[in-house]
Every structure is written in C-alpha cells, then in structure tokens.
Amino acid sequence: MDWTALTVSLRLAAMTCLLLIPLGVWLGRTLARARFRGKSLCEALVALPLVMPPTVLGFYLMMSFGRDAPFGAFWHRLTGEGLNFTFSGILLASLVASLPFAVQPIQRAFESIPANLSEAAWCSGLTPWQTFLRIELPLVWPGVISALALTFAHTLGEFGVILMVGGAIDGETRTLSIAIYDRVQAFDETGAGIMSAMLLLVSFLTIGVVYGLAGRRRWRHA
C-alpha cells in the first residue's frame, strides 16, 4: 500500500474542492442569473473539459505550463517555480479538469430558485449579501454538495491529465490512480488490488458523507 500516493491524492482532492467550490458558486450564480452576450460561449468553455479526452486536455495544459509559454512564464515570474512535474501544476490542472463538475450542479441549483425569492428578501429588508447567505446559499446547498462530491471523486480518479502534467514523482505528483497503474505495470496485482480497494472505499465514504449531509433537510420546495 502506497500511503504517500494516497496522501497526495487526498491533498489534491481536498485543495481542488477548497478552491473550486467558491469559484463554482460565483460562476454558477452568474451563469444562472446574468443575461449577457456570449453566455453560451462561456457555458461551452466551462463544459469543454467534460468532452475533451483527458490526454488532450493534459497535453495542452502541459504545453501552456512550460516556461516558454505565456502562462508558464507568468507563473514563473510570480512564484519563481515551474508548473510541470509539481504539485501546483497538477492542482491547477485538476482545477481546470473538474471545473464543469463544480459549476454545473450549482448553476442548475441557482436556476431552480424562483427569481422573486431574492426580491422578497430585499423587500423584507435583507441586503444583497444577507440575501445570498440566508436565502440563496441554503437553497442551492444540495447543488453545492453535489458539486463537492463530484469534484472530489473526479479528482481522486483523474489519471490522464495528471500523468501528462505531473508525471509520477513520488510524494509530489504521484497520485493513487497513477500508483495503481505503476503496480499493474510491475505485475504486482495484489498491490494494485489493495490500492484499488482503498480508492473505492475512500470514494464511497466521501460520496456517502456528502449525500448524507445533503439529505438532512426538513423542507422541500413548496
């Protein structure tokens, strides 16, 4: 059992969720509420990682992370480090790869809230910020939980993108999925089996916990 790889996987999934969920709430709300030109284009861009082959997405990310690419150069100036074959690199890559999983459930949840609920809140004296925290956020909470579960599980299982961008550096970019692949390549089916079972267990527990949280509400839409 490769505990280091499990730690890298869990750290990656947790940080992806931490960064991506607030972004997903903002983007999902904007896409659900705002009417602007090019909205369809934005939605298509958000959904793109869903339909792109992971190796293709990984390839483009790897190219743009290089120091001679504008983004990679910008990152290097900012942090003094590169992105390819680093934890930061696979974190950025998994933010992009999991974007649709975070945005879409939250966008759907915002779309299902009647617009006049926010107006009723304003007319009751709540500020826009209070309206967001007390009315909108509790109502989209099931969507946020779904986004959290999907993002977490998807990041745990991501293989192609991570391999392209991060390679398999022990303790840095070698996630559990990659470790399993390595074990199989080395004909260690027992090792691969144990780690697969571990990944299955962790995924199942995560999903169980978040859906348990989402199901614990007493109200339903009138």
For position 138 contacting another protein by CB under 8 A, the verdict is yes
Query: What span, in angstroms and rounded, lies between the C-alpha atoms of 53 and 56?
Result: 5
- Nearest to 60, CA basis, from 96, 99, 103: 96
**The residue count for the chain:** 222
Strand extents, DSSP E, the chain: none
User: Is residue 174 within 8 Å of 168, Cβ to Cβ?
Assistant: yes
Where does this chain touch another protein (CB under 8 A) — which range of 52-60, 114-122, 154-162, 172-180?
114-122
Which amino acid would we find at residue 211?
Y
Query: What span, in angstroms and rounded, lies between the C-alpha atoms of 25 and 28?
Result: 5
For position 26 contacting another protein by CB under 8 A, the verdict is no
Tell me the closest approach of the beta carbon of residue 116 to another protein, in angstroms: 5
For position 215 contacting another protein by CB under 8 A, the verdict is no
Tell me the closest approach of the beta carbon of residue 144 to another protein, in angstroms: 13
Tell me the closest approach of the beta carbon of residue 216 to another protein, in angstroms: 12
Would you say the C-alpha torsion 10, 15, 18, 19 has a positive or negative sign? negative
Q: Binding another protein by CB under 8 A: which of 40, 78, 80, 116?
A: 116
189-208: which residues touch another protein (CB under 8 A)? none
Query: Based on CB atoms, which residue is closest to another protein, 58 or 143?
Result: 143
Q: Residue numbers of the site for another protein (CB under 8 A)?
A: 114, 116-117, 119-127, 134-135, 138-139, 217-222
